[in-house]
Every structure is written in structure tokens, then in C-alpha cells.
């Protein structure tokens, strides 16, 4: 492809080092789409005759068919997907294939192919995340008004609805989808026509190319366009954060599934055993999901590091952008369906959750009640705290303290029995976004809307 000015050939290990075909071969469909559009562009610019353009396109379709059927046989001289497609086109249509690369460089070609591929990947990622959200929503609906001890610092804090705790993860995932969606407008920018760095010397209508390939806009600067990988960084940042969110979800559920908690049991389909300990049932699905976040974070760091310090325009370093991008999408394709399946098939033990609620988790409700009876909150907090300590010293639940203790703590604290009710505590938090069954019903409707929007 570029041998004219060379008298020697590449060292064998250099050839292997330089070849990107094993990785970028998966861009074959995008490469051929881009080449068909380019041929049409050259014809419109008067560089190709109509019959030449038709012959090129017919040949490209033959190459496409070979890839589609898994019959494409790479040669060692196929350095990357671009040279492989052009070489095979030549096998089919002869010397005319040599006209296709007029005014084009692999620099604007690979940028175009990768962006086209990424647009498809964004759609796939959106569908995958949406399905995890759907699984969370299904479970949130199925568990009704079951109450769970809510934790902060992994210490029992206040009762919350289980559905509320499940939906907390729904909204994180929703922001992940928004971030990926938002990146689309920066992905959907056509670099083709930028040439190697300076723009093409032929009068190709770039807007028409963009329209044919489905790009929303065209790049404004050829030096920038051939080296812009910002959109990859953005997507890898969004998928890294998504990986972190999935890891956090997994962590909640792994804790809940231990014998000490016993709030949830994963289905056998998403658990594995131990080769040594016969009793073990391990939440491997979620542990692996938690672990995969490491790759997703790593991919972001790889590309940021790759870009740092590059001089303007294309450098071969940029060939290293695709493995992390592909890996991120592959990792999501493996991980998210498993996570959705593990969520859908899990069974909650609401009795265990109820048994894990203790009266001290209602201390805030006691303080709030004092506030309603006219005590400033800071003082109320102190009084409720003393009652917690007294119950602890006597080794009883707060509700078992004698009436005198409450009155001694504050004279207004008569008639407190009704306070020691977890359902009441939850129902009191009836603000939008709160954990009251009323509020959570609105939240479920909002979540439903989000999913229905697409």
C-alpha cells in the first residue's frame, strides 16, 4: 500500500507489531459503508465515471458478502481493515480498485469507520443498560411495601422501602444512559474529507457524504478531525462510571445475600459452588460484575494516557484507541445481561429484613415527634439519644422502656407507643423522592415513563 519509497521490507516482528487487522477487522462493515459513500462522493466530484463508481460499489459489495459469510481470508500483507478491503477489492475488480483511495487517507478513513461503529455501539449500550433498569423496576414493583433497614456507613440508620432502595440504582443507570446519549452529538461528526491532515484536494461534497452516512454534522478542521478521539474518552468515561455503578449495585446485593444479612437469595442460575466446601453458594455473577469495573476504568485511563503528549494531527499511537473502546463495549455486552438476569431471578426474604429492623432506627422519629411537640430539634436529638442509650443499658428495645423513662426524658413524651412502628416511620417521609409508599408510587411511575421514552 505504501511501498513505493521503500527498498527494504518490514522486520517480521515489526510487521506483527504494526498490524492492526486482528483488532480492527471488526470495522469491516463500517469500512465498506464509508468506502461506498466515498466512491459516490468521488463520482459527484467528477473524479470517477458513473460506470467506474458502479463497478467499485459492486466490488465492495462482494467484499462485504465475504466478510458477512465469514469467508474472508486475510493475507499477511493485510496491515489493517482498510488495506485488507482495498486489496480484496482489487482481487475482484482489478486495477480500478486503485482509484478508490483518491483524495482519502487511512487517517480520515479510520476516524470515520470508528465513529460509525461507535454510533452502533451507543445504541447497543443503551439497550443493555435499559434492560438492567427494567429488571430493577420489575423487582421494585414485585416487592410491594416491604421494609428494609436502610444503612449509612453500613450501620443501621432508618427504615426504607425495599423498592426505594432498588430504584436508587435505577436513577444512577439513568444518568449513565443520558451521558452516553449526550455524547452522540459529538460522535456523529464526519471526519471524511480531511485527508491525511490537510483536507482533500478534490471537490468532494462533505455535507452530502455526511448525509449519506447518517452523520449529523461535518468536522470543521482537518488537523483536529484526523486526531480527535475526545468522543472515545467521553464514552469510556461514561462506561467507567457505569461500571462503578454496577459494581456498587453488585456490592449491595452481595452483602444482602450473605448468611448474616439473608435479605436476598440469588437464583442457582447466577451462583456457583466451591470445589472444596460443599455448602457454598457464591454470588459469582455479581462479584464478576463488580470486578469488571476495573477493566472499564482501565480502558479510560489507557486512552487518556495515549492522547496525552501527542503532537497535532495523526500519530500511530492512535491505532491503540480501538482495543479499549471495543473492550468496553464487549465488557458491557457480557456483564449487563448477566446482572439483569441475576436481578430478575433473585428472591427477597422480607421476613429477614423485618427481623433486622430495630427500635433504635426510630430514634429520629422520636426526635421529630418532640419537634412536633415544640422542642427545638437540637434538644430533641439529645433527648432521643439519651433514650437510645438508656434502652441499650437496660438491654431492651426503646419501645420496652417504661413510660416514666420517656416522661423523665421530656415531660411532653406521654403516649409514645404509636411512634414505634416502622411502617409509620416510612410513611412519614412523604416528600417527592422520599421513601413513603405514596412517594415511591410516584417514583415508580416516573421510572416507568423513563423506560417508555426509549
Instruction: Please report, as ranges, the residues that interact with ligand ARG according to CB under 6 A.
Output: 20, 24, 80, 106-107, 110, 314, 316, 318-319
Q: In the numeric block, which cell numbers belong to residue 83?
A: 488495506
Between 24 and 43, name the residue whose CB sits nearer to ligand ARG.
Answer: 24
Between 318 and 370, name the residue whose CB sits nearer to ligand ARG.
Answer: 318
Given the C-alpha cell 411532653, which residue does it identify?
412
Any catalytic annotation for residue 274? yes
Least distance between ligand ARG and beta carbon 348 (Å): 48
Least distance between ligand ARG and beta carbon 17 (Å): 12
Between 196 and 244, name the residue whose CB sits nearer to ligand ARG.
Answer: 196
Least distance between ligand ARG and beta carbon 122 (Å): 20
Between 3 and 376, name the residue whose CB sits nearer to ligand ARG.
Answer: 3
Between 10 and 146, name the residue whose CB sits nearer to ligand ARG.
Answer: 10
Least distance between ligand ARG and beta carbon 325 (Å): 11
Rounded Cα–Cα distance for residues 84 and 76 (Å): 10
Reduced DSSP (H G I as helix, E B as strand, rest coil) percent helix, strand, coil of the chain, to 5: 70, 5, 25
Burial of 30 (0-12, 13-18, 19+ CB in 10 A): buried
Between 20 and 158, name the residue whose CB sits nearer to ligand ARG.
Answer: 20
Among residues 9, 153, 275, 449, which one is catalytic?
A: 153
Between 128 and 318, name the residue whose CB sits nearer to ligand ARG.
Answer: 318
For the beta carbon of residue 166, count every other beta carbon within 10 angstroms: 26
Whole-angstrom CA distances from 405 to 222, 306, 359 are 79, 67, 15
Strand, helix or coil for residue 150: strand
Least distance between ligand ARG and beta carbon 321 (Å): 7
Burial profile 430-442: b = 16 or more Cβ within 10 angstroms, e = fewer: eeeebbbbebbee
Rounded Cα–Cα distance for residues 260 and 356 (Å): 10
Least distance between ligand ARG and beta carbon 231 (Å): 15
Burial profile 292-319: b = 16 or more Cβ within 10 angstroms, e = fewer: bbebbbbbbebbeebbeeeeebbeeebb
Of 198, 205, 192, nearest to 46 by C-alpha is 205
The rounded radius of gyration (Å) of the Cα atoms in the chain is 31
- Angle, helices 363-372 vs 377-394, to 10°: value is 140
For the chain, the straight-line distance linking the first and the last C-alpha, in angstroms and rounded, comes to 45
Whole-angstrom CA distances from 309 to 190, 306, 315, 377, 381 are 25, 8, 11, 56, 56
Among residues 77, 217, 258, 274, which one is catalytic?
A: 274
Any catalytic annotation for residue 449? no
Q: What is the dihedral of CA 84, 86, 89, 93, to 10 degrees?
A: -150
Least distance between ligand ARG and beta carbon 306 (Å): 11
Residues annotated as catalytic are: 153, 274
Amino acid at each position: 500500500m505504501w511501498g513505493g519509497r521503500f527498498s527494504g521490507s518490514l522486520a517480521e516482528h515489526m510487521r506483527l507489531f504494526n498490524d492492526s487487522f486482528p483488532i480492527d477487522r471488526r470495522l469491516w462493515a463500517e469500512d465498506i459503508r464509508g468506502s461506498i459513500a466515498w466512491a459516490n462522493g468521488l463520482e459527484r466530484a467528477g473524479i470517477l465515471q458513473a460506470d467506474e463508481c458502479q463497478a467499485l460499489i459492486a466490488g465492495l459489495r462482494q467484499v462485504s458478502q465475504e466478510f458477512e459469510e465469514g469467508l474472508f481470508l486475510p493475507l499477511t500483507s493485510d496491515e489493517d481493515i482498510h488495506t485488507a478491503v482495498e486489496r480484496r477489492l482489487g482481487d475482484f475488480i482489478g486495477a480500478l480498485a486503485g482509484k478508490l483511495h483518491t483524495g482519502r487517507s487511512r487517517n480520515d478513513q479510520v476516524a470515520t469507520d470508528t465513529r460509525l461503529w461507535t454510533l452502533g455501539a451507543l445504541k447497543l449500550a443503551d439497550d443493555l443498560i435499559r434492560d438492567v433498569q427494567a429488571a430493577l423496576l420489575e423487582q421494585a414493583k414485585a416487592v410491594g411495601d416491604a421494609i428494609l433497614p436502610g444503612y449509612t456507613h453500613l450501620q443501621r440508620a432508618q427504615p426504607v422501602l425495599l423498592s426505594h432502595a432498588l430504584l436508587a440504582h435505577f436513577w444512577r443507570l439513568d444518568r449513565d444512559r443520558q451521558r452516553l446519549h449526550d455524547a452522540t452529538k459529538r460522535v456523529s461528526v464526519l471526519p471524511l474529507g480531511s485527508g491525511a491532515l490537510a483536507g482533500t484536494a478534490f471537490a468532494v461534497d462533505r455535507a452530502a457524504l455526511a448525509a449519506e452516512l447518517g452523520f449529523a454534522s461535518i468536522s470543521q478542521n482537518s488537523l483536529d478531525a484526523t486526531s480527535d478521539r475526545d468522543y472515545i474518552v467521553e464514552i469510556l468515561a461514561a462506561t467507567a462510571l457505569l461500571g462503578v455503578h454496577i459494581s456498587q449495585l453488585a456490592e449491595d446485593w452481595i452483602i444482602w445475600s450473605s448468611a448474616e444479612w439473608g435479605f436476598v437469595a440469588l437464583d442457582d442460575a447466577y451462583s456457583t459452588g466451591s470445589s472444596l466446601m460443599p455448602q457454598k453458594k457464591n454470588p459469582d455473577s455479581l462479584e464478576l460484575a463488580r470486578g469488571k469495573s476495573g477493566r472499564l476504568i482501565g480502558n479510560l485511563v489507557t486512552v487518556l494516557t495515549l492522547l496525552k503528549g501527542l503532537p497535532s494531527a495523526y500519530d500511530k499511537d492512535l491505532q491503540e484507541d480501538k482495543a479499549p473502546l471495543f473492550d468496553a463495549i464487549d465488557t458491557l455486552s457480557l456483564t449487563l445481561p448477566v446482572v439483569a438476569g441475576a436481578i430478575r431471578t433473585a428472591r427477597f426474604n422480607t421476613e429477614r429484613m423485618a427481623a433486622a429492623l430495630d427500635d433504635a432506627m426510630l430514634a429520629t422519629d422520636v426526635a421529630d415527634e418532640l419537634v412536633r411537640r415544640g422542642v427545638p430539634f437540637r434538644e430533641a436529638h439529645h433527648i432521643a439519644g439519651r433514650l437510645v442509650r438508656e434502652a441499650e443499658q437496660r438491654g431492651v428495645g426503646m419501645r420496652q422502656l417504661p413510660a416514666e423513662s420517656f416522661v423523665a426524658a421530656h415531660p411532653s413524651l406521654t403516649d409514645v407507643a404509636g411512634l414505634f412502628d416502622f411502617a409509620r416511620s416510612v410513611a412519614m417521609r412523604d416528600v417527592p423522592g422520599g421513601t413513603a409508599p405514596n412517594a415511591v408510587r410516584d417514583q415508580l411511575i416516573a421510572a416507568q415513563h423513563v423506560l417508555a421514552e426509549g
